[in-house]
Amino acid sequence: MNNSLGIVVVAAGRGTRMGTAESKQFLLLQDKPVFIYTLEAFAALPEVSQIVLVTGVDDVQRCREWIDKHQVAKITDVIAGGSERQHSVYRGLECLRTEWVMVHDGVRPFVGQDEIRRCLDTAQKFGACVLAVPVKDTIKQVNEEGVITATPDRRSLWSIQTPQTFRLSDLLRAYEAAEREGFLGTDDSMLVERLGIPVRVVEGKYTNIKITTPEDLELAELWTSTKGEDTR
């Protein structure tokens, strides 16, 4: 392997909070599907040599057609995901032939090139990193009865975003261990942490939103219409 960077973009979720018949990653922003903006953000970087899109089994063909229509470069594979996000990412990782990998949500179209590069630099220096932002609000831990049991120090809390960046060999090892042990994590970093590999945090931007609710979509439409791709 060389020192190249591969990207796994996950756009296989259905999601119910958006309240639309269409999956959120395929909703249009200025006549372009959300996930296309995401792919373009990575394809524009010379450091990226390979991009794998993981989507639903029924969406593979139309994703390929959209990619061709918008002439997105560096897409080497468009594949069907699994029943869980973790399974989908694993399938994407198996397609890569790079030394480094970033895993990114297909519905985070406003990730900036500066954030992507800082993630890569940090991972290459320390081994693994995730993009994140400091939590703004006071967080409360609440029990099953709805009673507050603790108030963690906000200064130690970060809201995790993507991309998350690792050596491909480390992330594959983490996924293989999780598969053997029947462990289902909430993000890629969680699996790597289980191997004892330290994961650094890279401070990102609050504009790197995950489009999940109708309110998120309204904000994304506003940014796209007023700034175009300058939000990156």
pLDDT in tens, 194-205: 999 999 999 999
Average pLDDT over residues 18-26: 72
Mean pLDDT (whole number) for 85-93: 96
Q: Which domain holds residue 42?
A: 5-231
Return all residues near 188 (Cβ < 8 A) that are at least 6 apart: 89, 103, 164, 166, 171, 174
Given a cut of 50, whether residue 1 has pLDDT beyond it is no
- We report the CATH number of the domain holding residue 25 as 3.90.550.10
The dihedral over CA atoms of 139, 141, 145, 146, expressed in degrees to the nearest 10, equals: 0
User: What is the rounded CA–CA span in Å between residue 53 and residue 74?
Assistant: 11
**Quick one: which of 29, 27, 9 has its CA closest to 17?**
27
How far is it, in rounded angstroms, from Cα 124 to Cα 44? 20
Please compute, for residue 3, the number of CA atoms within 13 A of its CA located in the half-sphere on the CB side: 7
Give 60's DSSP letter. Answer: H
pLDDT in tens, 117-167: 999 999 999 999 999 999 999 999 999 999 999 999 999 999 999 999 999
Residue pair 47/124 in contact (Cβ under 8 Å)? The answer is no
Q: Global pTM?
A: 0.92
Amino acid (1-letter code) at residue 33: P
Q: 185: which DSSP letter?
A: -
Q: For residue range 26-85, list pLDDT tens digits in order.
A: 999 988 999 999 999 999 999 999 999 999 999 999 999 999 999 999 999 999 999 999
Number of domains in the chain: 1
Distances (CA, A) of 93 to 63, 69, 193: 19, 25, 18
> Quick one: CA torsion of 205, 211, 217, 221, rounded to 10 degrees?
50
Report the alpha-carbon distance of residue 141 to residue 90 in Å, rounded.
Answer: 32
Confidence band of 3 (pLDDT split at 50, 70, 90): low
- Residue 206: pLDDT over 70: yes
Q: How far apart are CA 102 and CA 104, in angstroms?
A: 6
| φ/ψ bin of 54: left (φ > 0), alpha (ψ from -120 to 50), beta (otherwise) | beta
User: Who's near 173: CB < 8 A, 6+ residues apart?
Assistant: 195
User: Buried (b) or exposed (e) across 70-108, using 16+ Cβ within 10 A?
Assistant: eebebbeebbebeeebbbbbbbbbebbebbbbbbbbbbb
